[in-house]
Chains A and B, each alone.
Chain A
Amino acid sequence: MSNLYNRIAVFRAERGVSRRELAEAVGVNNQTIGYLERGDYKPSLELAMKIAAYFGVSVELLFSFQRFESVADTLRRAAAAGDQQ
């Protein structure tokens, strides 16, 4: 079975949302959000779409079968692209 990676923790930290707040918004137990973030639980399509809708992004931005680039790498790449321009 393939791994399903997600960036819920990153989005949550960026928006300053607690696990409890996110859990209440999408209708799950706050432990479930913790298990999702740790990669210990794969959400249903319904839950994945609810979380994506909560953050206002597409599901692909939040969940992926490939490991996400780290925030540091993304920033470094963005800075390098800015320098080139």
Chain B
Amino acid sequence: MSLLKKLDDLVYAIGIDKILFRKVRPRSLRWIPLFVLAALIVGYVLMASIASRPTAKFFVGWLLFYGAYMTAMLLRTFGPRFVATARDPLDERELTVKARAYATSGIGITVLAMLGCCYMAGAEPLGIWRPHMPNDWISLALGLQAIAMLLPTWIASWLQPPPLADQED
């Protein structure tokens, strides 16, 4: 058996093909995105609150933040379908849910960015914390990206009713 064949078999054995080819049954993820969001925020606060690095607290924050970031990227695969495949195009209901979820999350992210800008503007005169290290800013950008990935999945999960018990599959 060639190495390529072994690697191919390994992909199917551990189920990565289900993620790659989007064979996962869509689920309503109504609560998990909130936990991921909480981990993202706590991780960021822990990372950013440390002035002298590295400390154990910083690494805990780093693990939480990047763990949540990776989970946010993965959750889209398991939540309501947003990406059509050649075998399963999105139907009218899924397209409606996707459009509403993205529109609502776009408003949410805009409001968040506006509030963030107002906070930054007031932080220096008021002498309160604001991002100052390059890592703070990069993490903030990645955090926003993770929120942009999480929000549509979370909103779409609430927009559509729970899946049917009897799938007749």
Contacts and interface: CB of A to CB of B under 8 A. Distances in A.
Interface of A: 18-20, 27-32, 34-35, 38, 40-41, 43-44, 46-47
Interface string B90-106: 01111000000000000
14 contacts: A20-B168, A20-B169, A27-B91, A28-B93, A30-B167, A30-B168, A34-B164, A34-B168, A35-B93, A35-B161, A38-B161, A38-B164, A40-B161, A41-B93
Interface residues of B, number: 14
A47 B92 contact: yes
Contacts of B91: 27-29, 32
B88 interface: yes
State the main secondary structure of chain A at its contact with B. helix
B110 interface: no
Nearest to B163: A31
B135 interface: no
Given A30-B168, A32-B94, 15 more contacts: A19-B168, A20-B168, A28-B92, A28-B93, A29-B93, A31-B26, A31-B167, A32-B92, A35-B93, A35-B161, A35-B164, A38-B164, A40-B161, A41-B93, A47-B92
Contacts of A34: 164, 166-168
Interface of B: 26, 88, 91-94, 160-161, 163-164, 166-169
Contacts of A19: 167-168
B161 to A, nearest CB: 4
Contacts of B169: 20, 30
Nearest to B90: A29
A27 B92 CA distance: 9
A21 B70 CA distance: 38
Contacts of B163: 31
B92 A44 contact: yes
Contacts of A32: 91-94
A23 to B, nearest CB: 8
